Amino acid sequence: MNFITSVTNNADTHQLSSCVLSIEPECFVTDTTAVIFALAVAACQTIPKEIKIEGRTYQTDEWMNTPSSILSAIPRRLHLQPDHPLTITRKLIESRFPSYKTHNDLFPIVTTGQNFDSLGFPLDHTGRSRTDTYYLNKETVLRTHTSAHQADTFRNNESEGYLISADVYRRDAIDRSHYPVFHQMEGARTWDRRQAEKEGKTLAEVIWDDVVRIPKHDIAVEDPNPTFHAERNPLQATHSPEEAEAIAAHLKRSLEDMVVTIFNAARSATETNSASENEPLQVRWVEAYFPFTSPSWELEVFWQGDWLEVLGSGIVSQPILANASVPNRIGWAFGIGLERIAMLLYSIPDIRLFWSKDARFLSQFSEEKPIRRFVPFSKYPACFKDVSFWLRSSSNAAGGAGSAASPTSSATPATTFSTPVPPAAPLPPSFHENDVMEIAREVCGNLVEDVRLTDEFVHPKTGRRSMCYRINYRSLERTLTNEETNELHEKLRGLLVQRLGVELR
């Protein structure tokens, strides 16, 4: 497939490119030249009026915050690449749901209606913020979860059960377990009340008949809480207690069967005989909250001496099914992270490895062979560098409100005044830690392993806030030189000034 990020080269459009990396390193000498670099890079920041992604054209606006480095990941589709560990993990899970229809190639660009509204996300939910989500325009995003396709899949009503596996996109922290593009699988199983009536049975009776067909296991399961609780895990108003009990039993038995398969495979991949790896498998159900299911649960597994959260699940919110034009259906859904499971199966230590094209990594995996623990091919040295800066005086510290370039959601009603009072000055950009992470990824790509806040303080007289981040530069495939890391670090410093308006210390 062709991947194009621009359509024309005129005054109204500008190619999305990694032009930051084309600036000559000789210009990075002092803090002053970092500012000069920031001015130079500003020429590369013009937002194109429209972009093309795999033949589809999208208009952009002031909400556009998706860099070319993220757009370039769309064609990779790691979960579909033969012999890739994510593909093997996906197929292992799919094998436990043979009658479910699979959807593995759904396009990642969706509407805000699909990604948020169809699932009942409140208008002020943090997930809608530009600090958390990649936007092309105010109504178009890169999906943040596979559930963006849930309502459409329910509406199509092609099967009683389905599985969706896909790449999803979120602005997030930088460390060994987080990456802005990762992969999820979600599944759902529903029943039709009308069909039960035709069979002369209650819906609960039909579901219990299906429960009997699920493979049995002999693992220890902790499930001390009632299926529903009026305050902690409420029963939905349109569901009877009998229906909820039956659906919960089907959900839990189905997902326990899946987890047993995963962790048995993980055990077979290990070559040691430690007590923790030979101990009996234990799982437990924990009450949880999700906006699109109730009651809801997380499934945890006791693995290598600790309880590990594996997935989230629950009985699907009936309004979601009603809005998808299938009000007579009722059922359950779950979601699981493929990288999380693959890292566990293969003992892969760093999430960046999934994107490697190095044969030393890829050659260790095969769909035709048993799962085996990943053997690291080298451990290259880390290079730590700090960057300290003062925030604008009106900024919020890490985790604050979305950036000032973050417009208010178009779905939020605005208050109208007969004589609006204009602001004395434009609102300066507010600070969010994810903006630092995004700049680090844009400049350094997979050469940055970890970014951590190491110090912050507020000046007692001026009230200005200072922050210091430690950047860990490390390649998975070679040793980085000091010249390389110095150049990357200066580019990062320059973009912090240009994008966030901070004052370097």
Q: What is the bridge-based pairing of β-strands 161-169 and 101-103? A: parallel
**Residue count of the chain:** 505
Q: What pTM did the predictor assign? A: 0.79
Find where tokens 């003992």 sit: 347
Q: Which two tokens stand for residue 90?
A: 């996906």
User: Closest Cα to residue 496, out of 452, 450, 432, 410?
Assistant: 432
Query: Which DSSP symbol is given to 295?
Result: E
pLDDT tens, residue by residue, 100-114: 999 999 999 999 999
Q: Is 9 helix (H, G, I), strand (E, B) or coil?
A: coil
Determine which of 11-25, 208-222, 295-309 has the lowest per-residue pLDDT on average: 11-25
Convert the pLDDT of each residue in 300-350 to its tens digit: 999 888 899 999 999 999 999 999 999 999 999 999 999 999 999 999 999
Cis bond leading into 295, ω under 30°?
yes
What does the alpha-carbon distance between residue 246 and residue 299 come to, in Å, rounded to a whole number? 18
The Cα 316–Cα 324 span in angstroms is: 12
User: Which domains does the chain carry?
Assistant: 50-269+278-363 (3.30.930.10), 379-393+432-504 (3.30.70.380)
Tell me the pLDDT tens digit for each residue of 392-443.
Answer: 864 334 333 333 344 444 444 444 434 444 444 444 457 889 999 999 999 9
Say if residue 355 is exposed, middle or buried (CB neighbours under 10 Å; 0-12, 13-18, 19+): middle
Write out pLDDT tens, residues 63-79: 999 999 999 999 999 99
3-state secondary structure 161-204: EEEEEEEEECCCCCECCECCEEEEEEEEEEEEHHHHHHCCCCHH
